[in-house]
Structure 1
Amino acid sequence: MKLKCIAIDDEPLALRLIARYVHQFPELQLVQTFEDAVSGGEYLKNSPVDLLFLDINMPDISGIQLARSLETRPMIIFTTAYKKFAFEGFELEALDYLLKPIDAKRFAKAVEKAIEYFRYKNAAPEKQETSLYVYSEYRMIKINLDDIEYIESMEDYIKIHQQNAKTILTLMPLKKVLEKLPADKFQRVHRSFIVAVDKIRSIHNRKIQLAGAELPVSETYMDFVRKWMKFK
Structure 2
Amino acid sequence: MKLNCVVVDDSTIQRITIAKLVKEHPELNLVGDFSNATETRACLANKKVDLLFLDIEMPVQSGFDLLDGLKNRPQIIFVSSKSDYALRAFDYAALDYLQKPVTKDRFNKAIQKALDIRRIAKDGPEEEGEFIFVKSNLKNFKVYIDKIKWVEAFGDYIKIITEDESHLVLSTMKSFEAELPANKFLRVHKSYIINIEKVERFNSKAAEIGAAKIPLSRNKKEDLAIALGKDQ
Q: TM tier, shorter chain? A: 0.5 to 0.7
Does residue 80 of structure 2 align to residue 45 of structure 1?
no
Give CA deviations for 1:122-144 in whole Å, capped at 9, x if unaligned: 32339xxxxxxxxxxxxxxxxxx
Does residue 7 of structure 2 align to residue 7 of structure 1?
yes
* TM-score, length basis structure 2: 0.52
- 2:59 partner amino acid: P
Give CA deviations for 1:88-111 in whole Å, capped at 9, x if unaligned: 111000000000111111111001
Q: Secondary structure at the match of 1:125?
A: coil
* TM-score, length basis structure 1: 0.52
Q: In the alignment, which residue of structure 2 is the partner of 1:22?
A: 22
In the TM superposition, 1:130-141 aligns within 5 A as none
Give CA deviations for 1:7-36 in whole Å, capped at 9, x if unaligned: 010011111111111122111000110011
Report the count of equivalent residues: 126
In the TM superposition, 1:176-215 aligns within 5 A as none
1:6–1:31 contact (8 Å) kept in structure 2: yes
More displaced, 46-55 or 91-100? 46-55
User: Identity of counterpart residues, as a percentage?
Assistant: 44
Q: In the alignment, which residue of structure 2 is the partner of 1:70?
A: 70
Give CA deviations for 1:53-95 in whole Å, capped at 9, x if unaligned: 0001101200011112111110000001111111211100000
2-structure distance, mates of 1:7, 1:114: 15
Q: In the alignment, which residue of structure 2 is the partner of 1:180?
A: none
Q: In the alignment, which residue of structure 2 is the partner of 1:165?
A: none
1-structure distance, mates of 2:66, 2:18: 19
Where has structure 1 moved over 4 Å in runs of 4 or more?
none
Q: Secondary structure at the match of 1:84?
A: coil
Flag structure 1 segments of 5+ consecutive residues without an equivalent. 127-232
2:52–2:75 contact (8 Å) kept in structure 1: yes
Q: In the alignment, which residue of structure 1 is the partner of 2:138?
A: none
Flag structure 2 segments of 5+ consecutive residues without an equivalent. 127-232
- 1:30 partner amino acid: L
- 1:111 partner amino acid: I
